[in-house]
Structure 1
């Protein structure tokens, strides 16, 4: 998710201990004089935010799983893995970069709960442990097979803790150059893999490839992260001299197109490589082993070593930045009752324990959480972009309907019986494709709006009516 740029939303920017790893150029307040350059810089920053070493494992695995159906899987993956994060930034820009304005239309409490849930998801529960597990499976295991997962996890998170507790410009400088290096390596692999395919895609019998790609795009977690990224991008654009909301939203959307184009090229190329490998490697190969094997097949041991080192360093900077985000968030949320250092220590220890379980188990663990979270984020982004004239009742109703169905979907994924209610939800339109929440969200939004309108309707005062 984040290779070399981790940011905190505007509520956290005042905390001096937040480690913000930037690839965007230093920003000074200057008059608007080169809009094209500013758009390119912002687009590059957005790309660096969303392009992450941990995300490299998903497109090849999806291509490998889909085989000859790779193109439709790619389209679905693009929607949630590329389009939704960019729309998320645009929606937050429209909300002034504020999470409270974005989710506060439901309720202020909901905004805080949602922000906390997102921070925990991209923090100790999912994203931080995934960086450690990815480093072991892609960066250490292929080069040093004798090293145990526990040893690797302790070493990785000890370094993470050291830099997260003492933010250093060294990490910033390392992060500044990691994205170009990693992107260069991946670009070379994709170009050679497309020019000289390692094999041909084979049929895998995958049903509904479009919806499968859509759901797999959740794993990038970039749409969740975009809610925290928007504040920094908006601040950078404002500091460049663009003061009106119209200018800020326009530049953000154009920057999003640049970032989205880059992400589609990288993700699409990796997904295609996975498809061409569908008849080359064994069906049970893990996501991490697949990208390592593809790299080794295309570029040999030297290319594999370069990939391992670049991914490891990139994951480390991500882990440091995310640990800082978690510490800063809870310090701000509790008004200092939970201080930065203890939160970071607990976060890193917790992440280290989960990381030992491996990438595959972490990914499987994340699915039910993302099944609940992503539809809510999609609904909020859509309603925000539709216009400011929508009432809070519409937001509350849509989120309520979406949440109810998403919880049942998550329980169904876990094979937990949900009785008659679960059977009813399974019969809803689009349920087979994983979108059973759409109609309930719309229905509840309409109902809540009607209730709100009727409650606020003032009946005519009988004394003011004309006498017959």
Structure 2
């Protein structure tokens, strides 16, 4: 058994890196909007949000360690070869140039530099900023060995310091008191709605992808024993979760007390902008720019690095350097269409990818007890795939026959119509494995 002592400093540094990887654009704006909508019920909504977001971060990373899945290729081989390859490609495109990377660039420009640009120069400024953004991300993501240092030592501390300034102002110079919830769901079921809102951050989706980076960071320290990898990875993940929870509370509270200085907003971005300007005026715009750039840039570096590593495993015959170039160019092109364009199609892709990732995570999580045979993964996904497709089509065509069917599938109205079929597929696979051993 190859064991090596990990220092507290190393644990904290990888924990800061883990926080930095997960805390991106969505993590900054969704809790703020949740707080404004939930108002007086923000503590319950915050609890549901944390259970969903942080809970799946821990479960996702733990599942990789418990199943000893240290490479993406091993995870994909648990599905049939061709479906595994296709789904793996789609997953990395979703967390890379199709959705997350262009979304990070668009949000950082819109909330930062974009607020200072006159309308007639807005598109040109966005093009220059976005091009520069992806050049920086591309260059810094080239050497995965630098991710711990870049994210953990530079961008994460910068983000935490600037957010602490904002939260200090919000808590000391209170804007007002929360009122009645603006949304009826936060009035009747604040914990459940907060739990569902936790999916918007996409942390559950990227927990598996970033989990590989965390494992690789410990392996670079000479940690190769499976049990020690699991223990150390969870230690750093807990450091990250404590930080994420603390920042989320500040953001939720900010949103819950913001109605005194503004009308209700449709998303968290303008709420944060108005609050920072309320306290600091034009200087607040500069501080917010630092917050947004440091929040998004570090996550983008991790995502682009993961994109290259993942696709290099799926397509080993293609030179790995081409993947990051492709990712940077496509991300720039899509980002130039704007945030509304990205959001228009992202939900459909996420409604397909999310459930499959959840199934993989949950099976890996229970694998030490019930086994890690491929049949569990293949049967569970096969039984769930039709309800997943039905849910996607229902979201795209409200009131259609797909919507009608989806509403009648157990849990379908909540977007979980795939859950019971997946459990049924797993149970049948379990019986099959048990029978083969007798």
- The offset of 1:262, in angstroms, is 0.8
1:178 aligns with 2:155: yes
For residues 32-91 of structure 1, the C-alpha deviation after alignment (integer angstroms, 9 at most, x for no partner) is 345544433332221122122453111101222222332332223223322212221111
TM-aligned CA distance change 1:187 to 1:158, over 3 Å: same
Distance 1:215 1:448 in 2: 29
1:430 and 2:407 aligned:
no
Unaligned runs of 5+ in 1: 1-29, 459-468
Q: CA 1:103/1:235 → structure 2, altered by over 3 Å: closer, same or farther? A: same
**Match 1:383 to one of 334, 349, 363:** 363
Are 1:131 and 2:104 counterparts? Answer: yes
Aligned to 1:306: 287
**Cα distance change, pair 72–325 in 1 and its aligned pair in 2 (3 A):** same
CA change 1:61–1:147 in 2 (3 A) is: farther
Distance in 2, Cα, partners of 1:136 & 1:442:
43
Q: Aligned pair in 2 of structure 1 residues 114, 227: CA closer, same or farther (>3 Å)?
A: farther
Distance in 1, Cα, partners of 2:310 & 2:224: 27
Q: Unaligned stretches of 5+ in structure 2?
A: none
Of 363-372 and 85-94, the range deviating more from structure 2: 363-372
1:303-344: per-residue Cα shift (whole Å, max 9, x none)?
Answer: 331121342355345445544543554455333446634x44
Cα distance in 1 for residues equivalent to 2:222 and 2:135: 37
Q: Distance in 1 between matches of 2:75 and 2:43?
A: 34
Please name the residue that 2:424 is paired with: 443
Which residue of structure 2 lines up, in the alignment, with residue 206 of structure 1? 184
Q: Which residue of 1 aligns with 2:90?
A: 117
Q: TM-score, normalised to structure 1's length?
A: 0.80
In the TM superposition, what whole-angstrom CA distance separates every residue of 1:226-250 from its partner, at most 9, and x where no partner exists?
2222233223323434442112111
Which of 331, 335, 338 is the equivalent residue of 2:316? Answer: 335
SS at match of 1:436: coil
Moved more, 435-444 or 143-152: 143-152
1:398 to 358, 369, 380: 380
Structure 2 CA distance, aligned partners of 1:142 and 1:75? 32
- 1:345/1:105 CA distance change after superposition, 3 Å: closer
- Does 2:291 correspond to 1:277? no
1:60 corresponds, among 32, 35, 44, to 32
**1:191 corresponds to 2:172:** no
Match of 1:413 among 368, 391, 395: 395
**Residue deviations 1:91-124, cap 9 Å, x none?**
1122242223334333344443333222111211
Comparing 397-406 with 287-296, greater Cα deviation is found at: 397-406
Match of 1:10 in 2: none
The answer for the alignment partner of 1:154 in structure 2 is 127
Instruction: Give 3-state SS (helix, strand or coil) of 2:115's partner.
Output: coil
Q: Provide the secondary structure at the position in 2 that maps to 1:212.
A: helix
Change (3 A) 1:422 1:200: same
Cα 1:46–1:397 change in 2 (3 A) is same
Provide, for residues 273-319 of structure 1, a one-character-per-residue CA deviation record: whole Å limited to 9, x for no partner. 11222454223444321211121223333233112134235534544
From the superposition, tell whether residues 334 and 147 of structure 1 become closer, same or farther in structure 2 (CA, over 3 Å). farther
Which of 15, 20, 39 is the aligned partner of 1:43?
Answer: 15
What is the CA–CA distance in structure 2 between the aligned matches of 1:91 and 1:121, rounded to whole Å?
21
Aligned equivalents of 2:31, 2:336: Cα separation in 1: 23
How much has 1:177 moved relative to structure 2? 1.8
The size of the alignment, in residue pairs, is 425
1:251 partnered with 2:229:
no
The equivalent residue for 1:237 is 218
CA contact (8 A) 1:68 1:204 kept: no
Deviations 1:157-176 (CA, angstroms, capped at 9, x unpaired): 3224544665589x977754
Q: Is the 8 A contact 1:102 1:384 kept in 2?
A: no
Question: Would you say the 8 A contact 1:74–1:210 is kept in 2?
Answer: yes
1:347 is aligned to 2:327 = yes
Cα deviations by residue, 1:165-210 (Å, 9 ceiling, x for unpaired): 65589x9777542221121111221233134331222321331433
Is the alpha carbon distance of 1:321 and 1:431 closer, same or farther for their aligned partners in structure 2, counting shifts above 3 Å?
closer
Select the residue among 351, 361, 365 that pairs with 2:345: 365
- Choose the corresponding residue for 1:105, options 78, 91, 115: 78
Alignment-derived partner of residue 220 in structure 1: 201
